[in-house]
Amino acid sequence: MRGALLAAVSLTALTAAAPAHAITLNLLIWEAYIEGSILEDFKAKTGIEVHQTYYDSGDARDEILSDPNSNVDLVVTSENGAKLYGNRGVLLPLDPAAVPSAADYPESWTRRCGGYGLPYLWGTMGILYRSDKVTAAPSSWSDLMAPDEPLRGHIAMYDDHAEAFVAPLMLLGKSVNANDNETLKQAYEVMKAQSPYVLTYDYIITSIQSPEHGQDIYMALGYSGDQHVLNEKVSAPGLWRYVVPKEGTLSWLDCIAVSERSQNREAALKLFDFITNAENAARNAQSLNMPTASTAALALLPEEMRSNPEIYTAPEILARSQFQEELTVQSVQARRRIISSLAQFSDAR
């Protein structure tokens, strides 16, 4: 399912009116990106229902956030998205007095959310692979972008204008935030050469659930932590694995924020504080096998998790990482045209 279609479905769900006698908060989030018991406990404590609406790309999420009629109360977005939509008046400025858990997050982390939210989870981008089909672990972005012949028709990429370009730009030794046409043209040539090997441009968590081709995906572009979700989806622990290529990667941060348009702001702030408090941030991180930026939550995690380099990325990898910056409008438009053309090639095949 393409991101635009998902956005359209999500908009329908988000604009549906909740029953007048009950409060239902709408949380816009990636699929399988929060420990379900946290929301169940919040309902038991407050009586407030939380409805999750999933997106499977940043573009789909941004389409929803840009719609003034979408009934979003809270959103998990990228650090760039937090700053962009905060500056546009879509997200509520963070008030530490209204969110006690904010005290648990170092200023070096919170400033990356632009003053409009708190860090949710963080990690890297890399290569996901099925260990029964790809016996030699990938070590370079070239293993994904210029794959061996047995991987023809078995790769899942990603139709997001930012993350889709991480692999080709890192392989070219360029900035993942490149805006100039010449660099984007070079990236396009790498992506075009790879396209015959690509089965789908849908996000791996979405595409793995497709009865049509889920079993035919052997390698994918994805995020750290995705391997755990994939293994749960296919009920095969350890089948999917994750590596960060030697050329380096994107170090990403997701922020959680309250919508300025929320019709239930007080309830939304309660949920915001509930999700980000030390106990629940630790529970969420442990359930998803992903790192938290909360110092109080970190102290609650078992030592084997805190010392696991698959979760808390090794310093030498972070040293080779780049961070997202806001792209120019022209760059975003060019990137979206490239992704659209590649997806059309895929659909035609």
Q: Indicate which CATH number applies to the domain containing 217.
A: 3.40.190.10
β pairing state of 219-223 and 321-322:
unpaired
Quote the pLDDT of residue 3: 37
Nearest 5°: phi and psi at 259? -75, 135
Quote the pLDDT of residue 17: 44
Q: Is the same domain home to 208 and 335? A: yes
Instruction: Report yes or no: 316 and 332 within 8 Å, Cβ to Cβ.
Output: no
Tokens standing for 314? 């090794």
CA-closest candidate to residue 252, choices 145, 314, 166: 166
Q: Is the same domain home to 133 and 62? A: no
Domain count, the chain: 2
Q: Is the same domain home to 18 and 161? A: no
Please report the sign of the dihedral spanned by the C-alpha atoms of residue 224, residue 228, residue 230, residue 233. Answer: negative
- pLDDT one-digit tens code per residue, 72-100: 999 999 999 999 999 999 999 999 999 99
Pick left, alpha or beta for residue 242 (phi over 0 → left; psi -120 to 50 → alpha; otherwise beta). beta
At position 194, the amino acid (one-letter code) is Q
Q: Is the same domain home to 202 and 340? A: yes
- Written in H, E and C, the secondary structure of 301-322 is CCHHHHCCCCCCCCHHHHCCEE
Q: Is residue 273 part of a domain?
A: yes
Residue ranges with strand state E in the chain: 24-30, 49-55, 74-78, 118-130, 155-156, 198-200, 219-223, 240-243, 249-258, 321-322
Tokens standing for 163? 């993350």
Q: Is the same domain home to 197 and 329? A: yes
Q: Is the same domain home to 187 and 292? A: no
DSSP-assigned letter for residue 165: G
Nearest 5°: phi and psi at 318? -60, -30
Q: Is the same domain home to 259 and 214? A: no
Q: Is residue 317 part of a domain?
A: no
Q: Which helix (H) or strand (E) holds 14?
A: helix 3-15
Quote the pLDDT of residue 347: 67
Q: Is the same domain home to 127 and 179? A: yes
CA-closest candidate to residue 338, choices 20, 59, 44, 46: 59
Boundaries of domain holding 342: 123-250+323-348
Q: Tell me whether residue 240 is exposed, middle or buried, using C-beta atoms within 10 angstroms of its C-beta: 0 to 12, 13 to 18, 19 or more.
A: buried
Quote the pLDDT of residue 318: 83
Tokens standing for 175? 């900035």
Q: Is the same domain home to 194 and 235? A: yes
Contacts of 187 (CB under 8 A, 6+ apart): 165, 168, 169, 172, 174, 178, 338
Q: Is residue 201 part of a domain?
A: yes
Q: Is the same domain home to 97 and 207? A: no
What span, in angstroms and rounded, lies between the C-alpha atoms of 29 and 32? 9
At position 295, the amino acid (one-letter code) is T
At position 291, the amino acid (one-letter code) is P
Q: Is residue 262 part of a domain?
A: yes
Q: Is residue 285 part of a domain?
A: yes
Q: Is residue 36 part of a domain?
A: yes
pLDDT in tens, the chain (349 residues): 333 334 434 444 454 444 445 899 999 999 999 999 999 999 999 999 999 999 999 999 999 999 999 999 999 999 999 999 999 999 999 999 999 999 999 999 999 999 999 999 999 999 999 999 999 999 999 999 999 999 999 999 999 999 999 999 999 999 999 999 999 999 999 999 999 999 999 999 999 999 999 999 999 999 999 999 999 999 999 999 999 999 999 999 999 999 999 999 999 999 999 999 999 999 999 999 999 999 999 999 999 999 988 888 888 888 889 999 999 999 999 999 999 999 887 766 6
Q: Is the same domain home to 92 and 221? A: no
> Tokens 């035609």 belong to which residue?
348
**Residue 128 β-bridge partners:** 220, 242
Nearest 5°: phi and psi at 35? -65, 120
Count of residues making up the chain: 349
Instruction: Report yes or no: 269 and 195 within 8 Å, Cβ to Cβ.
Output: no
What span, in angstroms and rounded, lies between the C-alpha atoms of 65 and 223? 22
Q: Is residue 115 part of a domain?
A: yes
pTM: 0.87
End-to-end CA distance of the chain: 16
Quote the pLDDT of residue 8: 39
Q: Is the same domain home to 136 and 245? A: yes
